[in-house]
Structure 1
Amino acid sequence: MAMNQIPGQNIYISGIYCMKNKAALEREGITHVVSVLRLNPAEVDKTFSSYQHFAIDADDTDDENLLQHFPDAVRFIKSAVEAGGKVLVHCAMGKSRSTAVCIAYLLHQKPNMLTPQSALEILRQCRPLCEPNDGFMEQLALYHEMGCPEDITEHPVYQRWLYRRDVEESVACGRAPEMESVRFEDEQPTQSQIQEKPPQEVEIKCRKCRKGLASSKYMIPHDEDKRNNSKARQNTECAHVFLHPMKWMSPSLFPSTDGSKTSSTYDSASGDAPLSGRLICPNPTCGSNVGKFAWQGLQCNCGSWVVPALGLAKARVDIANKVNTARPPAALGIRMPPGMRPLEPNDGSGRGNL
C-alpha cells in the first residue's frame, strides 16, 4: 500500500501495510511513526523499533474519542518535524483515523487559515481516498473551535462535549444520565464561560414570583429553520428558551425517592432519574412550573431539535434586558430632583437658566 506525502510537509500518510516496506520507508527518510489503530503488542517492538513511535489505540467508529489524543499527537509530529525528521502517520487503511490526526496537525499550524474541510482537501491532493468518519469530522470542528490548544482536558467546549456523550449513551440505554456526569454551568469558574457576552445581557425570571432563573450566558441558541420544516408554524416565535444545565434544576432532574426537596438530598439521590419532566421554580414558596426537560431532546416549534433539552416556557417566565445599575439614574429615565441634576450647557435658548 502506497504512502503519500502531504503537500508542503515532511509528513506522510498510509495504511499499516506500508510498514512492511522497509526499503520505501528508508528511501523517504522516515524517522518517526504515528500509529492510529489498535496494535498487537507482540508486533510493536519488531515493527517499530527503528523509529520514534507514538501509538494511539483507537477504533474507526463515530463514537471513538479521538479528540482527546489530538494535542499529544500534534506535539509529537511538530517536535519531529522541527528536529528535521520525517513522520509517517498510518492507521489500517490510511483513510479515516490517520487522516483525522493529520488534519488536526494542519489546523494547529494554521488555525486562522484552515478549516477541517479545507485541510481535508489538502490531504486529498496527495491521497484521494482520505475520508474521516462523521464523528471524527465533528471532533475536528470542536478542536478548531477551541483554537487547537495544547491541552483540551479542562476546556469548557471539551467538557460540554463529554457531558453530551454521557447523556447520549444513557438515553440510548433508556435511562437519564447520572448526576455526577452532568455539567452544571453555574458551578463552573467564570473564566470557563466561553460564550461571548452579548451587547445587551438578558435575564430570565419566574413570572409568578420574580425569582431569577438564568441569564444570556446560560442560553443555548438553536437554528430556527421554519422554511425547510413542514411541521414548523410559519411566522411564530419559539415557545421555549433552552438552557445549559443549572444547579437549581437538580430537584427536577434528579428527584429523590422520598419526595423531599432539599439540595443535600438531591446531591445524593439514588435510583433512576426521569428521562423527561417539568422544571419547577427553585423558590420554595412558589413551586411554579416554568418549563420542561427531556434528555432525549425536544423539537422546538421552530422546527429545530435540541438535545438534550432543558427549556423554559416563555409563557411562564419574563425575559428582559438586564439593567446596568452602574449607569446614572437619569440615563434610566428617572427624573432627578433639581439639586441633583447635572448642569446642562447653555445653548442660548434660555432653557439652561430655568
Structure 2
Amino acid sequence: MPLDRIPGEDNIYIGSAFAMGQKKMLDSHNITHILSVLQYTPREKAEIEARPESASRTRIFVDVDDIEEEDLIVHFPRIVRFIDFGLRSKPKADDTEDDESKVDSPQGGGVYVHCAMGKSRSATAVIAYLLWKRPEHFRGDFEGAQRYPPAVAEDAVRRALELVREARPIVEPNPGFMKQLALWWRMGCPASSPDAVERRPAYQRWLYEKDVEESTRIGRAPGRLWFGDEASKEEEEEDRKAEDAAAASAETETARETLNQNVQLRCKVCRRVLADSAFVVPHEPPDNDNSRPRVACNHHFVEPLSWMRPVLELGELEGRLVCPNTRCNAQIGRYSWQGFKCTCRAWVCPAFSLQHSRVDRIVVRSRPNAAATSPSASSGPGVAAESNLFNIRSPPGAKGASKV
C-alpha cells in the first residue's frame, strides 16, 4: 500500500509502523527522515538502528503513549524542527535504485511520521508542524493576529486536522492531544529551542492543572504549585516581546490613555490588597434547578497567589487562609484542592475562597500603561510607591476608590 502524503508543498507522509519493514516503498517515496511517535523498548531501538536499511535514513524516537494524560506538547519543538530539517535535506544518491520507480515529489527529502496505527500520535505531530510552519493557512478570518482566543485556536486545529484527513481519513488525535494542539497555537507555536515550550508560563499552568486533577483524584495535595501573580509577570514580559508593530497604531495608543476599571479584594482589618480582578475565578450557579431561589455568593474565588505559598507548601488537602500581613493574620477564607460548593450552589475545584464578610471589594481606576503590580507585591500600609496607582490607603468613598 502507498504512503499517505499530506496535501501541500511539503513532502510529508503519515502512516503506521507497518511501513517500517517496507524498504522499497520508503525508497520509492524518497523517505530520508523518519519520526517514530510511539514507545519502543531500548532493545527494540537498538535492533532498529542496527538494521542495514537504517543507515540510509535519519530517525528519531518520541516515546509517548496514546493516552489523554500524556504530555506530548513538550516534544513539539523537537518534532517540528526535525520535520523541517528533513524536508530541507536532499535525498542521498542511490545508484542501485531505478529513478523511474520513485514517486514524483517536491524537491528535497521526504519525512515519514508514524505511530502504531497512524491515527492519533502521528497525526498530532503532523498537525503541530503544520500549525507552526503554515499558520496563515489555518487562521481563517483572523490572519495577521498575534494572539488568539480559545475558540479560534480550536478552529485552527480543526482546519489542520481536516487537511491531514484528506491524506488519511482515519486520523483521530485523542481529546487530550487536541487540547494540547490548541494550547500550542495559543502560545504562538514556540520552537526556537528544544525547551521553548517548557519555558512558557501557559505550559507551566497546564502542568499545574493536570497535576491538580490527577492528585485530587487519588485524594492528595498536588506536588506542583503554581501562582497566578508570578506567572502573569512572565506572560506580560513575553507579550511585550511578541508585540506586533500594529500595536503602535493611533487607535491603540488612544486606548492606552483611557482609564480602565479594576476590582481589588482587600482585607477588612488591615486593608492589605489580596487579589485583583485579573486573578478572580468566575463561577456561575447551575441553571438546572429552578425550584430553589437564587442565593447570593458568600465567596470570592481566586487563583492560587504567591502570598498563599507558606500554607500551600504544607501539602494539606484543605485549610484556612489568613491575611499575609504579619501584623494582621486575620482569617480571610479557606481553600480545598478537592473543591467545594459555593452558597450559590456552584461547584468550584480547586477552590481558593476569600470570604465575602471578611474582605472588601474595592473598585479602583488605573491607566493600562501604568506598571501593574501583583497582589503579592503590595503589603498594605507603608507601601508608598503603589498608593497613587491603587489608592491602597484611600478610605472607602475617596477619589479613585469606591467600596462596592
- TM-score range relative to shorter protein: 0.7 to 0.9
Q: CA deviation at 1:15?
A: 0.5
Letter matched to residue 88 of structure 1: Y
1:106-185 correspondence to structure 2 within 5 Å: 106-111=130-135, 113-114=138-139, 115-150=156-191, 151-178=196-223, 181-185=224-228
Letter matched to residue 208 of structure 1: V
TM-aligned CA distance change 1:225 to 1:137, over 3 Å: farther
What is the distance in 1 between the residues matched to 2:162 and 2:232? 38
Structure 1 match to 2:302: 243
Structure 2 match to 1:191: 234
Letter matched to residue 171 of structure 2: C
2:117 maps to which of 93, 97, 113 = 93
Normalised by the size of structure 2, how large is the TM-score?
0.68
1:104-123 deviations in whole A, cap 9, x for unaligned? 11111233535222211111
Structure 1 match to 2:3: 3
Q: CA deviation at 1:303?
A: 6.5
What is the distance in 2 between the residues matched to 1:108 and 1:293? 39
TM-aligned CA distance change 1:25 to 1:132, over 3 Å: same
Structure 2 match to 1:203: 264
SS state of the match for residue 360, structure 2?
strand
Structure 2 match to 1:295: 337
SS state of the match for residue 128, structure 1?
coil
1:34 pairs with 2:76? no
2:76 maps to which of 52, 59, 70 = 70
TM-aligned CA distance change 1:89 to 1:109, over 3 Å: same
1:44 pairs with 2:48? yes
1:136-158 deviations in whole A, cap 9, x for unaligned? 11111111111111111111000
Q: CA deviation at 1:51?
A: 1.1
What is the distance in 1 between the residues matched to 2:175 and 2:347? 19
Q: CA deviation at 1:239?
A: 4.4
Question: Which structure 1 residue ranges, 5 or more long, are not aligned?
Answer: 256-272, 335-354
Q: CA deviation at 1:173?
A: 3.0
SS state of the match for residue 25, structure 2?
helix
1:313-324 correspondence to structure 2 within 5 Å: 313-324=355-366
What is the distance in 1 between the residues matched to 2:201 and 2:7? 34
TM-aligned CA distance change 1:59 to 1:27, over 3 Å: same
Structure 2 match to 1:258: none
What is the distance in 2 between the residues matched to 1:59 and 1:276? 33
8 A contact 1:292–1:310 mirrored in 2 = yes
8 A contact 1:226–1:234 mirrored in 2 = no
Q: CA deviation at 1:14?
A: 0.3
Letter matched to residue 268 of structure 2: R
SS state of the match for residue 144, structure 1?
helix
SS state of the match for residue 157, structure 1?
helix
TM-aligned CA distance change 1:3 to 1:308, over 3 Å: farther
2:277 maps to which of 216, 235, 239 = 216
8 A contact 1:233–1:301 mirrored in 2 = no
8 A contact 1:111–1:148 mirrored in 2 = no
TM-aligned CA distance change 1:303 to 1:61, over 3 Å: farther
Structure 1 match to 2:104: none
Letter matched to residue 250 of structure 1: R
TM-aligned CA distance change 1:326 to 1:192, over 3 Å: closer
8 A contact 2:336–2:350 mirrored in 1 = yes
SS state of the match for residue 104, structure 1?
helix
Structure 1 match to 2:66: 60
1:324-339 correspondence to structure 2 within 5 Å: 324=366, 325=388
1:307-318 correspondence to structure 2 within 5 Å: 307-318=349-360
TM-aligned CA distance change 1:320 to 1:195, over 3 Å: farther
How many residue pairs get aligned? The number is: 310
Deviating more after overlay: 164-173 vs 193-202: 193-202
What is the distance in 1 between the residues matched to 2:82 and 2:299? 46
What is the distance in 2 between the residues matched to 1:16 and 1:299? 48
SS state of the match for residue 31, structure 1?
strand
8 A contact 1:103–1:116 mirrored in 2 = yes
TM-aligned CA distance change 1:37 to 1:304, over 3 Å: farther
What is the distance in 1 between the residues matched to 2:178 and 2:303? 24
TM-aligned CA distance change 1:134 to 1:2, over 3 Å: farther
Deviating more after overlay: 27-36 vs 106-115: 106-115
Q: Percent identity, please.
A: 43
